[in-house]
Amino acid sequence: MVAYYRSVLITGASSGLGRALAVECAAPGGGLHLSGRDVARLEATAAACRARGAAVQTRVLDVCDEAAMAAWITGAGRLDLVVANAGISAGTGRGRAESAAQTRAVFAANLDGMLNTALPALTAMRAQAPGPDGVRGRIAVVASIAGFVPAPGAPAYCASKAAADSWTVAAAQTARRDGIVMTSLCPGYVRTAMTARNRFPMPGLMEADRAARIMLRGIAAGRRRVVFPWWMGVAARLVGLLPPRLSGALLSIPPGKDGLPGEP
């Protein structure tokens, strides 16, 4: 059973996890603020949510645009849940090093884009009146189990997700004193357009709608970090504890991925 939120804002909602989260949050009487960069796919998500009875407003935005993101979030009115979901994935592919442009693009979308969502949300929620449970609002950041391991096949992606997870968990304690609940969401492999380009086996591969329900349950429970599948999280933590030369050898076995797919 997914918790009901009267007003939800989600970035990267035009496909993958963002779309799945939006559809799961859609309910009669609820309002959704959805952003993405692909107009047609974003409107398709909005139509699916409206079919479930939700009122939907869409905005074509790049999360890397700090001013536009702040204006959108502060102008959305009261927000019960904000999900910083937008991000991109890329890797070294065929043993090539990541280019400077690719590295910066991944960090810009996955870290700066996340902060461009979470920081204005924190400011807006501090000004909101608390609900009956004392909570002014909830902010969830989509990180990744990849953030637990320095995989040579995707250095910028792993590092950006590690930073996103660490910042969210650390900031959650202070935010909670202000009545704001923050959650870092660390999934394993989820079947999306982003993972479709992976040229290696993906253990624990999960459908996006199932992943969205797990995430929303963790958010509603007020958990600071949601890791799933749990066994993959444990394995990633153990590999991350190995000496870098050994962990690097283990993580170099799967081929990487090329390019810069994703929805920032």
Domains and CATH numbers, the chain: 7-258 (3.40.50.720)
pTM: 0.92
3-state percent breakdown (helix, strand, coil) of the chain, nearest 5: 45, 15, 35
Burial of 236-263, coded b for 16+ CB within 10 Å and e otherwise, reads beebbeeeeeebeeebeebebbeebebb
Does residue 196 or residue 190 have the better pLDDT? 190
**Tens digit of each residue's pLDDT (9 = 90 or more) over 113-159:** 999 999 999 999 999 999 999 999 999 999 999 999 988 888 999 99
How high does pLDDT run on average in the chain?
A: 91
**Tens digit of each residue's pLDDT (9 = 90 or more) over 211-238:** 999 999 999 999 999 999 999 999 999 9
d(CA 224, CA 209): 21
Active-site residue (options: 4, 5, 157, 189): 157
| Contacts with 250 (C-beta within 8 Å, 6 or more apart), sequence order | 239, 242
pLDDT for residue 256: 54
- Is pLDDT at 250 greater than 90 in this prediction? no
- Is pLDDT at 245 greater than 90 in this prediction? no
Q: Which amino acid is at 178?
A: D
Tell me the three state secondary structure of residue 228.
strand
Q: Output DSSP code: residue 108.
A: I
- pLDDT band of 96, cuts 50, 70, 90: confident
Give the CA radius of gyration of the chain. Answer: 18
**Tens digit of each residue's pLDDT (9 = 90 or more) over 13-35:** 999 999 999 999 999 999 999 99
- pLDDT band of 263, cuts 50, 70, 90: very low
Tokens (6 digits) for 193: 């357009």
pLDDT for residue 167: 98
pLDDT for residue 262: 44
Q: Cα–chain-centroid distance for residue 248?
A: 26
pLDDT for residue 62: 97
d(CA 44, CA 8): 18
Please identify which residue in the block is written with the tokens 């040229």. Answer: 199
Catalytic residue check, 157: yes
Q: Which amino acid is at 22?
A: A
**Tens digit of each residue's pLDDT (9 = 90 or more) over 56-94:** 999 999 999 999 999 999 999 999 999 999 999 887 765
Q: Which amino acid is at 226?
A: V
d(CA 78, CA 57): 14
pLDDT for residue 3: 74
Dihedral Cα 125, 138, 51, 59, nearest 10 deg: 50
Q: Output DSSP code: residue 4.
A: P
